[in-house]
A and B are shown apart, each in its own frame.
Chain A
Amino acid sequence: MSNLISLPIVLPLLAGIIVAFLANNKPLVRRVAQTLAVINLIVTGFILYQVYQNGTIVLETGGWMAPYGIILVGDMLAVTLAFTTNIIAVACVFYASKSLTDQQESFYFYSFFFLLITGVSGAFITGDIFNLFVFFEVLLMASYGLIVLGNGKAQLRESMKYVLINVFSSMLFVTTVAFLYSVVGTLNMAHIAQRVQEVEQQGVLTTIGILLFFVFATKAAVFPLYYWLPRSYSVPNPVVSALFGALLTKVGIYSILRMFTLIFAWEADLTHTLFIYLAAFTMIFGVIGALSTNNIKLIMAYNIIPAVGFMMMGIGIFTETSISGTVYYLIHDMIIKGAFFLLIGVIAYVAGTSDLRKMNGLIHHYPILGWFFFIATLVLAGIPPFSGFIGKLLLIQGGLAQEQIFIVIAALVSSLLILFSMIRIFIQGFWGEKTELAHPERKQAAHKMTWPIGILLSLSVLLGVGAEWFYPSVEWIGEYLMNPQIYIDSVLKE
């Protein structure tokens, strides 16, 4: 029964291998990839149901006992995020067949895609810090493959920087794991947490914690480590940008959330106060970036950064309410960022340019697209009753309860500015005189590209309107994360 939890890692891995053999037969590879992604979603959904009913699933691989062997831990948080990942994956795989060029499709897009899902699910599920590094590498390797797919001039230029920054932070990760191993003598996350708790997190452990934070913050694009993100996320194909924007930064945030609620939770005065300030700067600088450009892809890529700030804010405030807020926002942001990047992809495709100044009156030709974009903007900015609102409400409630007025003001101002930056695209791109379309022949394909976005959008609307169905579980996750002892006990079984 506990073997079930290995499926979110094993299934996409197998799927990646299967589609690699079919890469030259395009209609077949599409059909197979779509089927496998849906199967994956169903299986993960079943695992989520099981975890919801029976509690955390722990798999000790090879039958080795918990602190000695490699373990996989499927708790509510990890499995929920893995499930959300697979929802994004399904939307992207249906969108991909329309958005990719033939050349990109035959150069193993689907294999890289499934390997990326493997890495992301693995990073969520693993209970061993070195394996976290390995799964990071798996997803990064797949992302290196995806980012250069297409062989464009700008793509090669930006991917070079993307790879270099990630290599550097990965090596720092290994070094930090070595530090941690020499201090606590174990790599199992639950066991590390227990040992850190025993010695009450002395100075050297806090230093290691900050080093780890540096590594994850680079992946998550927290201020001041976000400089590499906007350009490298805006150059690849829109479906790749959607995968990156929806999944990769969120893995970083998840790791910070896990590390600083489970392991390094005992020096909150120092570390978590730092997070609050970093969160505020992340929001403000991200949104300034989004307002600074006329390239719609770049505007969207910059909009990842304030969202990261919101999630960091919840971790920094560090109460049950704010941690639930972070979890809610994390799930919401994965879905809406996926939808948004796909939307921007369609807009750039039908307008034939990603320069905002060259667009006009798209809503006359694409009413559905326009309304989707409008709803997505409201969701992103956190207008009630959409899902962004619930997450932000929880975060701001948590902030007010702890009297962190500074961060609350920063959050509210940056929400407004996010709304402004997105509405700007709406006003300039969609409003205006009815003009000749640049590429009328693209209409058919654009309509087919729009419906996967509809699924993601309706999910995110459901997440907001039906908040009372989801809120109890999210609140429970928040409580669970604030009590690391539950995690430790479920893994070490003492």
Chain B
Amino acid sequence: MEIIMAVLAGILFTTAVYNLLQKQMLRIIIGTALLSHGAHLFILTMGELKRGKPPILSEGVEQYTDPLPQALILTSIVISFGITSLLLVLAYRASKKNGTDNMEQLRGNDYE
């Protein structure tokens, strides 16, 4: 199960990097969203996947899920939500103001 998850995270990272290297702003933003998904899956995998066991440690309980990765993912998901929405708004404003959403034309060699 861990191996499948690791491969899945790898595929997500690959597609994310592919999208990040595009010129269109929206594609780049999708790239960052995919990147964060990959990272989150990766955290989950690192905490070892065990199905059907509650994240509780008490006397007599031998098998339990590690709650820490889930707490980390929760925090990280909230942050990446915020950043993705901010990026979308920013990209909208930037493309409106500069008249293009092509990163190639936004290089900024001309200086104001």
A residues adjacent to B (C-beta < 8 A) = 130, 134, 137, 141, 144, 148, 151-154, 156-160, 163-164, 167-168, 170-171, 174-175, 177-179, 181-182, 187, 231, 295, 298
Contacts and interface: CB of A to CB of B under 8 A. Distances in A.
B5 to A, nearest CB: 12
A144 B75 CA distance: 19
Interface string B83-106: 100110011011001100001001
Contact of A171 (B36, B45, B112): B36
A171 B35 contact: yes
A182 B72 contact: no
B46 A179 contact: yes
Contact of B86 (A144, A158, A231): A144
Contacts of B112: 152-154
A160 B106 contact: yes
Most chain-B Cβ atoms within 10 A of its Cβ — which of A130, A156, A231?
Answer: A156
B32 A167 contact: yes
Interface of B: 20, 25, 28, 32, 35-36, 38-40, 42-43, 45-47, 68-69, 72, 75-76, 79-80, 82-83, 86-87, 90-91, 93-94, 97-98, 103, 106, 108, 111-112
Nearest to B79: A137
A157 B87 CA distance: 12
Contacts of A231: 108
B109 to A, nearest CB: 10
A171 B83 CA distance: 11
A150 to B, nearest CB: 11
Nearest to A147: B90
A158 B108 contact: yes
B28 to A, nearest CB: 6
Nearest to A144: B86
A interface secondary structure, majority = helix
A196 B80 CA distance: 30
Contacts of B90: 144, 148, 156, 159-160, 163
B34 to A, nearest CB: 10
B47 A156 contact: no
Given A178-B43, A181-B47, A157 B94 contact: yes
B46 A164 contact: no
A167 to B, nearest CB: 5
Contacts of B43: 174-175, 177-178, 181
Contacts of A170: 79, 83
B111 A295 contact: yes
Nearest to B17: A168
A170 B79 CA distance: 10
Contacts of A163: 83, 86-87, 90
Nearest to A298: B111
- Nearest first, the 7 A-B pairs at minimum CB distance are A182-B46, A156-B94, A178-B43, A178-B46, A174-B39, A171-B39, A154-B112
A493 B40 CA distance: 33
A399 B93 CA distance: 49
Given A137-B79, A178-B46, A231-B108, A156 B72 contact: no
Contact of A167 (B25, B87, B94, B106): B87
A462 to B, nearest CB: 37
B46 A167 contact: no
B37 to A, nearest CB: 10
Most chain-B Cβ atoms within 10 A of its Cβ — which of A154, A156, A167?
Answer: A167
B72 A130 contact: yes
B75 to A, nearest CB: 6
Nearest to B75: A134
Given A157-B106, A160-B25, A178 B32 contact: no
Given A179-B46, A181-B69, A174 B87 contact: no
A307 B77 CA distance: 35
A185 B29 CA distance: 33
Contact of B111 (A141, A148, A154, A171): A154
26 contacts: A130-B72, A130-B75, A137-B79, A144-B86, A152-B112, A153-B97, A154-B112, A156-B98, A157-B94, A160-B25, A160-B94, A160-B106, A164-B28, A164-B87, A167-B35, A168-B35, A170-B79, A174-B43, A175-B39, A175-B42, A178-B39, A178-B69, A181-B43, A181-B46, A182-B47, A231-B108
Contacts of B32: 164, 167-168, 171
B6 to A, nearest CB: 11
Contacts of A157: 94, 98, 106, 108
B4 to A, nearest CB: 17
Nearest to B111: A295
A204 to B, nearest CB: 13
Contacts of B91: 160
A429 to B, nearest CB: 18
Contacts of A298: 111
B19 to A, nearest CB: 12
A168 B38 CA distance: 12
Nearest to A183: B46
